[in-house]
A and B are shown apart, each in its own frame.
Chain A
Amino acid sequence: MERNDEELVAAVRRGDTASFEALVRKYQPRIFATARRYARRESEVEDIVQEVFIKAYQKLDTFRGEAPFEHWLMRLAVRTCYDFLRVHQRNREHAFSELSEPEQDWLERFVQDPDQAPEDAAAARALVQRLLDMLSPKARLVITLLEIEERPVKEIAALTGWSVSLVKVRAFRARAEMRKCLQKLKREQYL
């Protein structure tokens, strides 16, 4: 019979390390998907996921069981991704230099007729990735959780450990930061 999360956590706490493997197997797809929102290279994604599970194992005593294990693990994952962003603040200045040809084509199409530029195009995905790379870690985290994953503010507060009002303030600032980055794109005469 398959054991539930609480039983597995209790077993790990009793010293049965092997039970942790079942938890890893169950939640690793979700953690991988989360990590891929913030890191591009697959080696970085793997490092983030590994760190999340190592931290989870080491901090398992702090899991009080008031919320589901999955929520606790996701909080840990989001904070680990945020730490990753803070450490790897690379290419923030140069993200819009040297746009590829498809990206320039997509922008030209948008300038001619905004409704004609398809949202599901690879060029649009590449552009938004550049835009996200230019944001500060705080702004990127809040934009990802609020605008891209469309999570409620309360849930974001729980995931990040920020207060609800702080999430709102940071979301407002993040949108402004994003507009500033787009203005840069305009200044560089892509638009």
Chain B
Amino acid sequence: MNLAKLQEKLLAAARLDRPSEAVPYAFEQRIMARLARVAQESADLWTVWSRLLWRAAAPCLGLTVVLVGLAALSGALQGTPLTLGEGLETTVYAVLTEPAD
């Protein structure tokens, strides 16, 4: 049995069998509709993400206010320098001054 010949014969059959270029009716409209959906989905992702961020902002702000309030009540803020410059200086030199204490 000549397998090489059979292979050649079958490949020749495949060469003769040209696939059709037929396109289903209004296929381009289906593509355009799908593209619009894809664009909509990606836009939706941004909308969801920004909505989540806005929702997270209010609890974060509330938590900050509560912590500041608690710190003020417990006296943690007492004894802090009055000016911003003094505060910065104290913070920067804190590491250096600590061992001496």
Contact B1 A111 (CB under 8 A): yes
Tell me, in angstroms, the Cα distance from A79 to B36 when the chains sit together.
24
Counting CB contacts under 8 A, is A139 at the interface? no
Tally the A-B contacts, defined by beta carbons under 8 Å.
102
Nearest chain B CB to A169's CB is how many angstroms away?
19
Tell which of B15, B31, B32, B35 has the most Cβ of chain A within 10 Å: B31
Counting CB contacts under 8 A, is A20 at the interface? yes
Contact A125 B14 (CB under 8 A): yes
Given the known inter-chain contacts A57-B35, A124-B9, please indicate yes or no for A21 contacting B23, CB distance below 8 A.
Answer: no
Contact B12 A119 (CB under 8 A): yes
Contact A121 B1 (CB under 8 A): no
Secondary structure of the A side of the interface? helix
Tell me, in angstroms, the Cα distance from A117 to B6 when the chains sit together.
10
Interface residues in B1-41 (C-beta closer than 8 Å to A): 1-7, 9-24, 27-32, 34-36, 38-39
Task: Sample 6 A-B pairs with CB under 8 A, ordered by A number.
Answer: A21-B29, A29-B21, A50-B34, A119-B9, A120-B16, A127-B10
- Interface residues of chain A, those whose CB is within 8 Å of chain B, are 17-18, 20-21, 24-25, 28-30, 32-34, 36-37, 46, 49-50, 53-54, 57-58, 110-111, 114, 117, 119-121, 124-125, 127-128, 131-132, 143, 147-148, 150, 175, 178-179, 182-183, 186, 191
